[in-house]
Amino acid sequence: MKKLWVIAVVLLMAGSAYAEERLNLSGSYRVRAWSWDNFSDLDSDNDGDENQYWDQRFRLGAKLTVAEGITANLRFDFAEAKWGAEFSEGWANPTEAKEIQVDRTYIKLDKEMYALSIGQQWMGWGEMIAIDDQVTGIIATIKTPVNITLAYAKLDEGAGLADGAADVNEDRDFYGVNAEMMMDEMSAGGFVGMITDGTPAEAEPMVVGLYAKAALAGLNVTGELDYFMGENAATDYVGTQLYLDAKMDMEPAMVGASLFYAMGTDDSDETQITAVMDASGDFVPMDIGAGAFWTLIDPLGAALGGDVFELTDNSGSMGLNVYSSCAFAERFKVSGNLGYLTPAEDDVTDLDNVMIVNVGVEYAMATNTKLAAAYNYTMVDGDGAYDDADAASVLGAMLQLSF
């Protein structure tokens, strides 16, 4: 608790000590209510995975301009926890991780010819599928007609800092390069990223990705193609996946569709992977509560692979997701999506298909304040373990203030 008060006092003092143009504060507060069922086992007869609870989070970001083009950046999450489980009798759990989480602390130099950021920061390339993570490291961009970004991140120091003392002390590091060209109505790029692992595990995945965005007569099209390789001791990492999305704004409505394809594998010495760096979880565009808010509960569930590109282990996938939203009466917005996925490699799974339905609604109560609700329904069909699979569902509600 002392750390929380120290940071609060420091920020208050900073706000009075520096002029507004030097210090910029932003953030949000949210409180949510949840009710969900069957995501762990797809079995209605088991009541052990019926969950109803509340949670909350207060997020605060600070950006201090030290000089022209030089900033110090911080972001904190205060009391991010479930009521009654990670709080007790009105007081926050004494575990400091629940009182305050510091997830970004870095400096950034943004000049005419280059940009450099050092510290704990977010890194994401392309459509944030294969590379999307919070990292502690260095990201440097050379600003040319084709922007070149070089990235290094320290992932793990192993069992100790003395690397030469034992193999388990060796480090895990990320190295990557991204090249991107941007034009008025189009951008395109490619990246290479890999993890080096000096420990006995020798888990060293690598990805080569290509991505593009274009605006064509009111139609916004995006896509990413990823190819994975590498190894984990005696097992080879494999994976080829494609994501395409197209949407059109037709005020006050928006409609869109996404296509997914990923190769699976039935070789015993191969393992499919779908990302190299992905702290937020598997890439599932349908998990955002139909646009109302991010549910944090994967609609593909723990009983499946939890990934739109890998429905079960090594199965790959093929699928389509259609979505739409509409704003009306100034303060209301409704949205929904329907997704259908099936494995690409039938020999490694009894699963036939998965269908995901989301509906959501938002109400703007006041400026920067919204009340939202979302409902997700996931249906599974297949043989064996999936022959009698029951549907999974989640209902959520949220009040959020942003500043």
Q: What is the pLDDT of residues 338-390, one digit of tens each?
A: 999 999 999 999 999 999 888 889 999 999 999 999 888 889 999 988 888 88
Question: Which CATH number applies to 234-403: 1.20.120, 2.40.160, 1.10.8, 3.40.50?
Answer: 2.40.160
Enumerate the H helices of 95-196 as residue ranges.
Answer: 96-99
Q: Which two tokens stand for residue 314?
A: 């090594």
DSSP E strand boundaries for 51-185: 51-67, 70-82, 87-88, 91-92, 100-110, 114-124, 131-142, 146-156, 172-182
pLDDT at residue 174, rounded to an integer? 96
Residue spans in the chain of domains classed CATH 2.40.160: 234-403
CA angle 117, 122, 202 (to 5 degrees): 100
Q: What average pLDDT does the chain have?
A: 86
Tell me if 379 sits within 8 A of 355, measured CB to CB: yes
Whether the upstream peptide bond of residue 94 has omega within 30° of 0, thus cis, is: no
pLDDT at residue 280, rounded to an integer? 58
pLDDT at residue 24, rounded to an integer? 93
d(CA 181, CA 187): 6
d(CA 300, CA 386): 13
pLDDT at residue 28, rounded to an integer? 93
Instruction: Work out the average pLDDT over 84-106.
Output: 70
d(CA 209, CA 225): 6
CA angle 104, 151, 111 (to 5 degrees): 75
Q: What are the counts of helices (DSSP H) followed by strands (DSSP E) for the chain?
A: 2, 22
**Residue closest to 132 by CA, chosen among 102, 77, 198, 176:** 176
Query: pLDDT category, 296, cuts 50, 70, 90?
Result: low
d(CA 245, CA 249): 14
Backbone angle region of 84, left / alpha / beta, with phi > 0 → left and psi within -120 to 50 → alpha: left
pTM, full prediction: 0.88
Tens-digit pLDDT profile for residues 162-171: 656 556 667 8
Q: Provide the b/e sequence for 60-70 (b: ≥16 CB within 10 Å).
A: bbbebeeeeee
pLDDT at residue 98, rounded to an integer? 60
Q: Which two tokens stand for residue 325?
A: 């939203």
Q: Which two tokens stand for residue 137?
A: 């490291």
d(CA 223, CA 229): 20
* Residue 350 parent element (H or E): none
**Residue closest to 169 by CA, chosen among 178, 177, 160:** 160
d(CA 274, CA 226): 8
Q: Which two tokens stand for residue 33?
A: 């209510």
pLDDT at residue 289, rounded to an integer? 46
Query: pLDDT category, 84, cuts 50, 70, 90?
Result: confident
Instruction: Work out the average pLDDT over 171-176.
Output: 93
